[in-house]
Structure 1
């Protein structure tokens, strides 16, 4: 007769394998999309007949460590100067961010740079609020967003513009981001592997199979008239990018993936900063799921499927991993034994190998990333870095429902820079 531990184990095994197989399928789809992009002929010089006016928004709150490098990289992008407007929102900064921005503006008088400074009354309320303030000053036909730690490559903006002006069904186009400080320590190397895998698997793979991408927080272009029609960014959403994505699809547009548009960003270099940032992501995703799925779904089509996947991944798969780890540990101490027939060590090893395979596929698409050092990190990743996500999910779920019970607004944590 089956025991409770057997049912728990079967639920965990089934959930983990379903997700692993689905992600492996997306990894192969992402690789197929990668080959399509590689073979696709794109002329970003002759392919744009009339350069549209573009407004670039950069929200900046206490960014003195990174803002100069980022703004200079944006100014160096190859795009007609008279067709771009750079709007930097100095969002209630208490450090030298404002001084640095004014120095840059004085050094480049021929550039269309606007610095908008907010105070404690108008600003300091999160990224979405800062972007909405910047949007009021945007004169471009399209709006581009870069985080204050981003250094986009020279041709990055051209690729984004090329893709969106050549397709009326695209409401937005996202680029690819790379880890600038990946060699800082083992944590940033794990993050580098994670971000590359996510982009090729979840952005490239989903785009190939379902025609779906989600806006990242940076390196994307969106139609200004669409953005204004949607009312800008949701100031209550701490994952404002994901929330905006749902509304873009809800208005009949698609979000495309153009991986040739590359921007480099700084990732957390300490576990504490990483933990806070990822907790904010979890809380933000729960907000989006709750807003658009409950009590009844408020969207349809592929984006509804994507929301359901987000819900299943955040809760069912999350608990499956916890139960699986618990059963494994209790089994080692002889406290709980599985009575089901079969060699479950072999099944676990196969799942582990599948995890290594799908991450490896994603890294082969980035020149120089699939090497012996990174392969070793992938091997230990599941037992180390991935397990830390359990604590992140617990923290995010607890924090979200704690705020809901006490009717507090979710606070936006700004990632610390290095």
Structure 2
């Protein structure tokens, strides 16, 4: 075999390792979903601990009223939770809208922190630290500014974490409320149900391991105090804090019955900026924690580190290689001697991809449709390839920001009416 053949075998091998990992997670996730949907949650719990709900917000005037009012209507005793919204260096009408909400809901534990370019504007982690400094809750609940949680979401999260002192945090699920807007939001809806939530369910079922998302989760106040707040250098503060909680000896559990609905990007430009930020932030976390891969005392977080290294380094390189070889082969610029095997492996990969995603979406009512079957087929040839571009650009941006010591600031995800 030639060098090209060896590179192709390497790329296909890595891709199949990732596929195999995802198959295992899907099986574990499906088992967990089956168990959790049979779980009976209490309509009322014996003790309602005081909770601080924190919402970091930057130029969110389009969505902030709906978010604030949905939080004020949570099915949780009004006197047992407070809401702190950090209107951080906004230049839109967010302050005016939030003042209107305060006037409408007088007497509620509702606080707004307004900052400017001097006191704020330094990113989500900094905003959360500002709210934390004035918070009173035994537990902290975090929601993004475009979220509308279902009424029982907070109660289910608190009920779960309060049952087990070994849990440092409990995460809920977020769903795509604008999934029918266009093909991109349809892709994101499938991605969310499979590569995010089915994977989280599988990791909890198999490893008792989850990663905090940026929204719809609760964490013990005492643990945030111990770690000195959120890392202001991390632009994916959720992943970073997950690793610190595990290193402290606590677990993070997934409670899929606690649901919030959020708005996903509706244009490629907005999507690309958001996902580049995710990729860049996760690369920062991997590099920060890389030393723990070889430490048995690090426990299950080693799986996550290996998983992230596989995805952001090995899988990325494998995708670039396989696509380059495919294109160059079509142009006749290189010769591949294992074409028959490649075709068989490719057909198998596509089949496994489609089947596993169909299993994932089957756990949600109304998602297992012929329309979504077509969306999944299209994803393989388009959306998944775009992910490789995002991961590559995220790595480049991380290197550039590290070299030039760029300060962490808000990465604004554009909202839509």
Q: Give the TM-score category using the shorter length.
A: over 0.9
Which residue is 1:391 aligned to?
Answer: 389
Q: Kindly tell me: are residues 411 and 58 of structure 1, through their superposed partners in 2, closer, same or farther at Cα, counting changes over 3 Å?
A: closer
Which residue is 1:322 aligned to?
Answer: 320
Which residue is 1:307 aligned to?
Answer: 305
Moved more, 398-407 or 79-88: 398-407
Kindly provide the CA deviation profile for residues 74-108 of structure 1, in whole angstroms up to 9, marking residues without a partner as x: 11110001100011111111111011101101111
Is this contact kept in 1: 2:293–2:302, CA < 8 A? Answer: no
Which residue is 2:51 aligned to?
Answer: 54
User: What is the correspondence of 1:18-417 to structure 2 with a 5 Å cutoff?
Assistant: 18-45=17-44, 48-294=45-291, 300-340=298-338, 342-417=340-415
Is this contact kept in 2: 1:174–1:257, CA < 8 A? Answer: yes
Q: Distance in 2 between matches of 1:261 and 1:111?
A: 23
Is this contact kept in 1: 2:173–2:197, CA < 8 A? Answer: no
Kindly provide the CA deviation profile for residues 332-366 of structure 1, in whole angstroms up to 9, marking residues without a partner as x: 22222222485321111001110111111110001
Gaps of 5+ in 1: none
SS in 2 for 1:221: strand
SS in 2 for 1:136: helix
Q: Distance in 1 between matches of 2:166 and 2:355?
A: 35
Is this contact kept in 1: 2:185–2:266, CA < 8 A? Answer: yes
Q: Distance in 2 between matches of 1:295 and 1:259?
A: 29
SS in 1 for 2:381: coil
Aligned residues: 415
Moved more, 288-297 or 239-248: 288-297
Q: CA deviation at 1:211?
A: 0.5
User: Cα RMSD (Å) of the superposition?
Assistant: 1.4
Is this contact kept in 2: 1:403–1:410, CA < 8 A? Answer: no
Kindly provide the CA deviation profile for residues 307-333 of structure 1, in whole angstroms up to 9, marking residues without a partner as x: 121011101011101111111122222
Q: Kindly tell me: are residues 335 and 124 of structure 1, through their superposed partners in 2, closer, same or farther at Cα, counting changes over 3 Å?
A: same
Kindly provide the CA deviation profile for residues 344-391 of structure 1, in whole angstroms up to 9, marking residues without a partner as x: 211110011101111111100010011010110001111011111121
SS in 2 for 1:143: strand
SS in 1 for 2:204: helix
Q: Distance in 1 between matches of 2:339 and 2:152?
A: 58
Q: Distance in 1 between matches of 2:399 and 2:161?
A: 39
Gaps of 5+ in 2: none
Q: CA deviation at 1:304?
A: 1.6
TM-score normalised according to structure 1 size: 0.97
SS in 2 for 1:269: coil
Q: Distance in 1 between matches of 2:201 and 2:293?
A: 29
